[in-house]
Chain A
Amino acid sequence: MTRHDHDHELEVPAGWGFVETFDRRDFLKLTSTGLLVMLTIEPVFGRQEGARQPGGRRGGYPSDPNAYVHIGADGRVTCLVGKIEMGQGAMTSLPQLAAEELNVPLTRVDIVMGDTDVCPWDMGTFGSLSIRQFGPVLRAAAAEARAMLVAMAADRLQMPAASLEVVDGVVRSTADRTKHASYGELTAGKRIERRLEGQAAVEPVSAYTVVGKSAPRRDGRDKVTGKAKFAGDVVPKDALHARILRVPAHGATIEQADVAAASAVPGVRVIRDGDFIAVLHPHRDEADRALDLVKATFTKSPSTVTDETIFDHLVKTAPAGRAAAEGGNLANGEKLAAQTVEEKYLKGYVSHAAMETHSAVAAVEDGKVTVWAGTQTPFPLKSQVARALNLPEDKVRVITPYVGGGFGGKSASQQAIEAARLAMASGRPVRVVFSREEELFFDTFDPAAVITIRAGLDAQKKIVFWDYTVIGAGERGAAQFYDVPNHRTFVRSGWGGGNPPDMHPFAVGPWRAPGANANAFARESHVDVLAAKAGMDPVEFRLRNLTDARMKRVLETAAKTFGWTPKPAPSGRGFGVACGIDADTYVANMAEVKVDKATGRIQVVRLVSAQDMGVVVNPEGARQQMEGCLTMGLGYALSEEVRFRNGEVLDKNFDTYELPRFSQVPKIETVLVPSSDQASHGGGEPAIVPMGGVLANAVFDAVGARVRQLPMTPARVKAALA
């Protein structure tokens, strides 16, 4: 039996996971009885992310509700959230928050994510915000639901609400346990809708029973059996694969295209709308072959930069910039300095390179477009699709299945708009799944960066001034957090737009902890350079120059776990340290490396990461994220950089664009530093931030050579040794 011999109009394959049951009708059925709490809270935004979402509403959640919690007649709780699951585990941790506030067992909580028809509006899943920013909103909605249910129970039991408690979804009298009413009994048969603004009282941390304990991931079984559906796995009846004619270089255009040979292939359809030329076929590989038959000529790209000349180009083209942080007086600081060091640090463009390429399927039914998309931003995407097709927004629905890795790269969803256009034009459901070459071409790369730092030490080995200028990477993580009296952080351009059009030869965008990786590499390298000047151990030097108690604590924790003993670098041991703050989380990483002087190859032997992320919702999930950060960070530190020339991206697949592999992954130890006086902070990004710095410092400690450019390829290590 094939997939296509059913008679449904629009077939959604079995094993659809958490989205499966939710078409609009099911949602209405689900919410036709029971309690639906909708909550609107204007959250405090991570400044950069909020304002710059392409196509999104600016500045945050408007008056739309942003959390739904529904309690059904069977007592089951359903969270409806606009976030998506891309491996970070929000599908598991968000229900923990709801279970906690509602006092129900976690097994009785369901979640529906990233469906624009049934979930409340959300800006997107990025910036380690799911827990730290959206978490409080969901908790408040759940807390409000609980308060309402208790009030309903008070009426029903004829007892004051204050005399009632909730245990496992049952409201009961604290004095007389025979007096009780379950959530299911309370909501049965009624439809109750509540719309709230503002903050509801939530449980104190000390009362947590579900939050803080590792919860089993909900996606495990689907993901190990192949049942988990990603966007490219959605196969509506009669769907066609589309391959689109692309220009060979950024800035090039199609001069002419001859599609005759492709059109002649049986089963192939060609759709042409000006420069937008696509070949369609039910089978992907046959669509590939048809695309190869399209004969096209292209204009030359006006771009003349390469991955080697780009750094000078950035310095020339970057906007004037502004001071993002400032204190004291730099000229006075210079006078106090006994030793001054100035250095320049470079980092290349890095690709997101999620294993799932950008994928989408679009189908039109009764004038309404449904797009299944691998996207981090379903709601902004819905608006983009509506605009592209000139449709009212209610004629577009975006459904987000499992996303096969995002890291910021799937905040842009060109493939989904293309699929929607082609579905409209062809009258058939259309699948657009980027090839790896398209993926590496259209990626919104982590921008290349040029960072210069001039800093000085006084006779007491204290940093007395710090003059920092970053081009390319942007503001995040740029400001230093050491105890420096005279400092300035100057930012010229960033990843989020507003750059002169010829500055970058292709699109740049947010990449896991956007900009912070480049900034931490430069800062932490330079701090080590100063420590070496001072003749001090790098950890002792940092502690001497730190007053921030949270940072000291993570650094000391990392040192203890690592077994760090003080020695000035280069000690020959290959030990490195680097710190960072990201998403309000504090992190210190330590590394041990071996450097082969003959080949320049770096082997990382072990990594330790200590992190203070405030209240941890799901400790095992948090550790997984930290390990992912450390492992992914090996890539931009050691091997990953996009090669390009005159607008052409020369890396077209993983044979030359080198991701970290099993043999490179060291022993990893992660420590969650307890910190219950803090709210929950971000966990998806912070631990990756120090990776460039920690490895550069470890290399220096191993062989006494300072590598000032990422990635630290064997050639660059050898050059530094020479």
Chain B
Amino acid sequence: MKTITFMLNGSARRLTVDETRMLLWVLRDDLGLTGTKFGCGESVCGACTVLVEDEAVRSCMTPVSEVDGKKVVTIEGLAKDDRLHPLQEAFVEHLGYQCGYCTPGMIMGAHALLLKNPRPTRAQIVQHMEPHLCRCGAHVRILEAIESASAAMAGGAR
């Protein structure tokens, strides 16, 4: 057991946990943040993607010890005061989801990309999103949503 302190969606959190446990389950089971999804448990689907220090990580294979002292953002932390993030708006507008199960991971993955590269090309988006699976086949609209969010953000939306 270890005490882990980190910034979660803008607020400081302190937890005493078995530090070898995975971030995904600490988020979901200990902290009640169920927006981050379980899809495979082995870093091969992207459903559990969150941001650690602005990098996309697969929380299912990230021991919670690795976020000690770091900044973590989950899907719940993206909208500010009920105002949707441009990526969230774009996913709604372009229907970048069907069942919606892969969606939090998709949005967080895209978020990490846009933080690094605000105006990615289609090819760069595809390359970055390649590890993310969507069984419903919403891919075409997900790509459109990411492009549109990138344009909106570059236009000064946020």
Interface residues of A (CB under 8 A from B): 2-4, 13, 86-89, 217, 219-230, 232-233, 235, 241, 282-286, 353-357, 402-407, 433, 435-436, 620, 624, 627-632, 653-655, 659-663, 665, 668
Chain A minimum-CB-distance residue to B76: A226
| Cβ-based interface call for B6 (8 A) | no
CB distance from A185 to the nearest CB of B (A): 34
Do most interface residues of chain A lie in helix, strand or loop, or is the interface mixed?
loop
Between B21, B34, B98, B132, the greatest number of chain A beta carbons within 10 A of the residue's beta carbon is seen for: B98
Residues 54-97 of chain B, each 1 if its beta carbon lies under 8 Å from chain A, else 0: 00000000000000000000111011000010001101100101
Residue numbers in B under 8 Å from A233 (CB-CB):
28, 34
Residue numbers in A under 8 Å from B142 (CB-CB):
662
Interface residues of B (CB under 8 A from A): 18, 21-22, 24-25, 28-42, 44-45, 47, 74-76, 78-79, 84, 88-89, 91-92, 95, 97-104, 107, 125-127, 129-130, 132-143
Alpha-carbon gap, A222 to B104, bound state (A): 10
- A357 near B38 with CB under 8 A, answer yes
Residue numbers in B under 8 Å from A217 (CB-CB):
92, 95
- A283 near B30 with CB under 8 A, answer yes
Chain B minimum-CB-distance residue to A431: B29
Alpha-carbon gap, A628 to B100, bound state (A): 13
- B95 near A436 with CB under 8 A, answer no
Residue numbers in A under 8 Å from B32 (CB-CB):
2-4, 13, 235
Chain B minimum-CB-distance residue to A233: B34
Partner of B40, one of A222, A653, A661, A668: A653
- B100 near A228 with CB under 8 A, answer yes
Alpha-carbon gap, A232 to B97, bound state (A): 19
CB distance from A44 to the nearest CB of B (A): 28
Residue numbers in A under 8 Å from B74 (CB-CB):
226
Chain B minimum-CB-distance residue to A284: B25
- B38 near A232 with CB under 8 A, answer yes
Residue numbers in B under 8 Å from A659 (CB-CB):
133, 135
Residue numbers in B under 8 Å from A225 (CB-CB):
35, 75-76, 78-79, 84, 88
CB distance from A32 to the nearest CB of B (A): 33
Identify 6 residue pairs between A and B in the complex whose beta-carbon atoms are under 8 Å apart, listed by A's number: A2-B32, A220-B95, A226-B33, A285-B25, A355-B101, A631-B139
Known: A232-B38, A355-B101. A660 touches B137 (CB 8 A): yes
CB distance from A409 to the nearest CB of B (A): 10
Chain A minimum-CB-distance residue to B33: A226
Residue numbers in A under 8 Å from B135 (CB-CB):
353-355, 405, 407, 632, 659
Chain A minimum-CB-distance residue to B104: A226
Residue numbers in B under 8 Å from A228 (CB-CB):
100
Known: A221-B92, A223-B103, A405-B101. A628 touches B136 (CB 8 A): yes
Partner of B134, one of A86, A355, A402, A630: A355
- A224 near B107 with CB under 8 A, answer yes
Partner of A627, one of B21, B88, B140: B140
Chain A minimum-CB-distance residue to B129: A662
Alpha-carbon gap, A220 to B107, bound state (A): 13
Between B28, B139, B143, the greatest number of chain A beta carbons within 10 A of the residue's beta carbon is seen for: B139
Residue numbers in A under 8 Å from B100 (CB-CB):
87, 219, 222-224, 228, 402, 404
Residue numbers in A under 8 Å from B99 (CB-CB):
86-87, 354-356, 402-406
Residue numbers in A under 8 Å from B97 (CB-CB):
87, 220, 223-224
Known: A624-B95, A653-B42. A405 touches B34 (CB 8 A): no
- B95 near A355 with CB under 8 A, answer no
- B137 near A227 with CB under 8 A, answer no
Between B104, B136, B137, B141, the greatest number of chain A beta carbons within 10 A of the residue's beta carbon is seen for: B137
Residue numbers in B under 8 Å from A355 (CB-CB):
37, 39, 45, 47, 99, 101-102, 133-136
Residue numbers in B under 8 Å from A285 (CB-CB):
21-22, 24-25, 29
Alpha-carbon gap, A407 to B129, bound state (A): 23
Chain A minimum-CB-distance residue to B138: A628
Alpha-carbon gap, A4 to B103, bound state (A): 26
CB distance from A92 to the nearest CB of B (A): 10
Alpha-carbon gap, A88 to B136, bound state (A): 9
Alpha-carbon gap, A220 to B35, bound state (A): 14
- B78 near A655 with CB under 8 A, answer no
Alpha-carbon gap, A286 to B101, bound state (A): 24
Partner of A224, one of B47, B91, B134: B91
Alpha-carbon gap, A404 to B28, bound state (A): 17
Partner of A230, one of B29, B89, B101, B137: B101
Residue numbers in B under 8 Å from A662 (CB-CB):
125-126, 129-130, 132, 139, 142-143
Residue numbers in B under 8 Å from A632 (CB-CB):
135-137
Between B34, B47, B78, B133, the greatest number of chain A beta carbons within 10 A of the residue's beta carbon is seen for: B34
Partner of B133, one of A86, A282, A661: A661
Partner of A433, one of B38, B75, B134, B138: B38
Chain A minimum-CB-distance residue to B36: A226
Residue numbers in A under 8 Å from B25 (CB-CB):
283-285
- B137 near A629 with CB under 8 A, answer yes
CB distance from A282 to the nearest CB of B (A): 6
Residue numbers in A under 8 Å from B84 (CB-CB):
221, 224-225
CB distance from B145 to the nearest CB of A (A): 9
Chain B minimum-CB-distance residue to A666: B140
Residue numbers in B under 8 Å from A630 (CB-CB):
137
- B39 near A241 with CB under 8 A, answer no
- B103 near A354 with CB under 8 A, answer no
CB distance from A483 to the nearest CB of B (A): 33
Alpha-carbon gap, A75 to B88, bound state (A): 32
- A631 near B137 with CB under 8 A, answer yes
Residue numbers in A under 8 Å from B141 (CB-CB):
624, 627
Alpha-carbon gap, A284 to B36, bound state (A): 14
